Amino acid sequence: MHPLLELLADPALRPTLLGTGLLGALSGGVGAFAVVRRQSLQGDVVSHAALPGVAAAFWLGGRSEVVLIVGAAASGWLALALVGGLVRRNLAPFDAALAAMLATFFGLGIVLMGSLQRLYPGTNAVRLQQYLFGAEAATVRMADLAPLVVLGVPALLVLFAFWKEFKLLSFDPDFAASLGYPVRRLDWLLTAVVVVAVVLGLQTVGVVLMSALVVAPAVAARQWTDRLGPLVVLAMALGAASGVAGTLLSHTLSERGRAVPTGPTIVLTVTAVALASLAFAPRRGLIAAAFRRQVQRRRLLSEAGAP
């Protein structure tokens, strides 16, 4: 058997592949909406702002994965809601509001973590590191997939159940409001879906790298289509494929001696997919554009009767 197929069939690796694949699909799907709405960096803010939620949940006695995830999601969502409030009341520009909430919430998380470390010495150092960078070499067990399935699949279902509403909200919120749709509530719901996707990814790939999983598949998919349906599906497919390919790549490389962390490998894979799409996409792509320009120049020159 081909060694790559062998890896795919490896029962020890299967949960990891499932996990990163599912995560890639989920973040690709929500990322498509985020990129279309020019809110690509929502994911970045949520992943940073989740930290105080994790700490607070831990403080309140939560030790199970699900409780920590709920805490993370709650504080991530709160940060985005505050950003929305600031922008709606015209008190801060969107980007500065995002940066401000990101930094304040992250600072609060650090403060809480610092106090936790004093109260429960030795419990959190590893976790914090994992939270920031993702697991060293992601080894997902079958049991770890539970939150991804229990929360991630419903999040995707919400995305498709409110398809028409979210589409309208993304492209023309004023029109949506004039039709009587509860725009603000829909916005909150879509935000909640983004938050769930991001928070689920934190444990596997970490804060910084989760932003890439939201943005890059959508940017890649955007180059191939102008329609929302294909965009979301393609972003999900590219996200899932990058997740699986990145995991395989990091495991293959790791077997040659040096440990190659999974999260960064996935991010670089998905970035490569995005860059390749920017270059090679048939209509929007840079190469196609350069080619068209060349053809036009030739035609212009020949029509002008240049020597």
Partner 1 sequence: MSAAEREAMLLVAVTALACAVPGVLLVLRRLALIGDAIGHVLLFGVVGMYYLTGDLDSPWLVVGAVLSGVLTVALVELLERTQLVRGDAAIGLVFPALFSVGTLVASMHFRDTHLDVDQVLLGHVEYASNAPMAHLFGVPVGRRPTVALAALALANGLLAALFFKELKLTTFDAALAATLGFLPAVVHYALMTAVSLTAVAAFDAVGPILVVAFLVLPALTARLLTDRLNRLFVLSLAVAAAGAILGVRAAFYWRTNTAGMTAVTLGVLYGVTLLLAPRRGLLAAEWQRFRRRRAFAETVLTIHLAQHEGTPAEPAEAALSSLHRHLDWQPAAVAGVVGRAERHGLVTRSGDALRLTPLGRQHAREAFAHLPG
Residues within the interface to partner 1 (CB under 8 A): 35, 38-41, 43-44, 48, 86, 89, 91-93, 95-100, 102-104, 106-111, 113-115, 118, 125, 128-129, 132-133, 136, 208-209, 211-212, 214-216, 218-219, 222-223, 258-261, 263-265, 267-268, 271, 274, 278, 284, 286
State the minimum distance, in angstroms, from the CB of residue 142 to partner 1: 26
In whole angstroms, give the CA distance from residue 248 to residue 243.
9
Could you tell me how far CA 162 lies from the centroid of its own chain? Answer: 20
Given the complex with partner 1, which of 214 and 241 has the nearer CB atom? 214
State the minimum distance, in angstroms, from the CB of residue 101 to partner 1: 8
Given the complex with partner 1, which of 8 and 99 has the nearer CB atom? 99
Take residue 194 and report the two structure tokens written for it.
Answer: 């983004």
Given the complex with partner 1, which of 8 and 278 has the nearer CB atom? 278
SS3 call for 268: helix
Given the complex with partner 1, which of 8 and 268 has the nearer CB atom? 268
CA-CA-CA-CA torsion for 73, 33, 103, 106, nearest 10 degrees? 20
Given the complex with partner 1, which of 75 and 223 has the nearer CB atom? 223
Given the complex with partner 1, which of 74 and 132 has the nearer CB atom? 132
State the minimum distance, in angstroms, from the CB of residue 220 to partner 1: 10
In whole angstroms, give the CA distance from residue 156 to residue 3.
33
SS3 call for 261: coil
SS3 call for 100: helix
State the minimum distance, in angstroms, from the CB of residue 241 to partner 1: 17
Take residue 6 and report the two structure tokens written for it.
Answer: 């062998």
Given the complex with partner 1, which of 2 and 258 has the nearer CB atom? 258
Q: Long-range pairs for 68-74 at CB < 8 Å and ≥24 separation?
A: 69/147, 69/151, 69/199, 69/200, 72/199, 72/202, 73/192, 73/195, 73/196, 73/199
SS (HEC) of 179-217: CCCCHHHHHHHHHHHHHHHHHHHHHHHCHHHHHHHHHHH
The interaxial angle of helices 183-205 and 262-280, nearest 10 deg, is 120
State the minimum distance, in angstroms, from the CB of residue 45 to partner 1: 9
State the minimum distance, in angstroms, from the CB of residue 42 to partner 1: 9
State the minimum distance, in angstroms, from the CB of residue 192 to partner 1: 20
For 121, phi then psi, to 5°, come to -60, 135
State the minimum distance, in angstroms, from the CB of residue 89 to partner 1: 7
Q: Kindly give, in sequence order, each residue whose CB lies less than 8 Å from that of residue 115, ignoring residues fewer than 6 positions away.
A: none
Do residues 165 and 181 lie in contact, with contact meaning Cβ atoms separated by under 8 Å? yes
Given the complex with partner 1, which of 67 and 132 has the nearer CB atom? 132
